[in-house]
Amino acid sequence: MERHVIASGVSYLDQLLGGLFIGDNVVWHDDAGSLASIFCLNLLKASKAEGKPLIYVSFDRSPKNLLDKLGPLAEGSHLTILDCFTYGKGEGSEIFARFYGEMEHPCTIQRVEEPHKVGRVMDTLYAIHRELNDSVRFIFESLTGMQELWGGEEDLARFYSHSCPRLYELNTVAYWIMEKRAHSPPSQGQDKSDSAGGNRSFGQEREGIPDNTES
């Protein structure tokens, strides 16, 4: 069966890869998040232009911080933010929790009450997916943040190895962000050994992708 090709929103990347395929899991190895951010923003931009839904799973940023980062790209029904930060790294602090009562949100934001439980994150994620039509895109920020919250690489590896085949079968495209040198060599190689297919792994230095890539 021929695989459907979609645009990443970055012409250089599409030329390099021949576009993204439905079912792809793309892992971005980045030093400080700046490179990955460029590609994630462009995927969101392309998805919005095409009217395709996107779920942004955030372990590293509060919803307010993320909305500020996304700007106009966050406006519309195309985007759902899965907030794993407020009761994760944010520890349920009133500073972050009060966000939900302060303003009208430009997109759908779903808070996970127990993000330190892998099963709860997975259940919430796939429950949201079931409510959406068409092929869904995902951005996971980040594998490193998941590891920090879950206290090690075992739960992270289980989540990733279970999610990739499932996302592949659900005809999605997913971006995963991982900080370089923040994981042990076996964990960094997990994306390459997964048997589901459709997995790609990129780093700034190894792939020679410029850090000022524009669409």
Do the domain assignments include residue 213?
A: no
pLDDT of residue 42: 92
Domain of residue 70 covers 5-207
Whether 55 and 129 have beta carbons less than 8 Å apart is answered as: yes
Is pLDDT larger for residue 142 or for residue 190? Answer: 142
Lowest mean pLDDT among 30-34, 36-40, 128-132, 187-191: 187-191
**Residues sharing a CB contact under 8 Å with residue 143, sequence separation 6 or more, in sequence order:** 27, 156, 160, 176, 177, 178, 183
Tally of structural domains, the chain: 1
CB 160 within 8 A of CB 191: yes
Dist CA 42 CA 213 (whole Å): 10
**How are beta strands 173-179 and 25-30 bridged, if at all?**
parallel
CATH number for the domain that contains residue 196: 3.40.50.300
Segment (H or E) for 175: strand 173-179
Decide if 135 is inside a domain: yes
Confidence of residue 211 (pLDDT cuts 50, 70, 90): very low
pLDDT, position 199: 64
Note whether residue 56 is domain-resident: yes
Report yes or no on 215 lying in a domain. no
pLDDT of residue 179: 81
Q: How confident is the model at residue 30 (pLDDT cuts 50, 70, 90)?
A: confident
How many other CB atoms are found less than 10 A from the CB of residue 175? 24
Position 214 in a domain? no
Is the confidence at residue 1, as pLDDT, over 80? Answer: no
Type of residue numbered 146: M
pLDDT digits (tens, 9 = 90+) for 149-208: 998 888 998 898 888 888 888 888 899 998 876 555 434 444 433 334 466 655 543 333
Render pLDDT for 71-122 as a digit per residue (tens, 0 to 9). 999 999 999 999 999 999 999 999 999 999 887 899 999 999 999 999 999 9
For residue 212, tell me if it sits in a domain: no
> Please, are residues 170 and 22 in contact by the beta-carbon 8 Å criterion?
no
Is the pLDDT assigned to residue 212 strictly greater than 50? no
The answer to the question of residue 45 being in a domain is: yes
> Does 20 have pLDDT greater than 90?
no
Report yes or no on 117 lying in a domain: yes
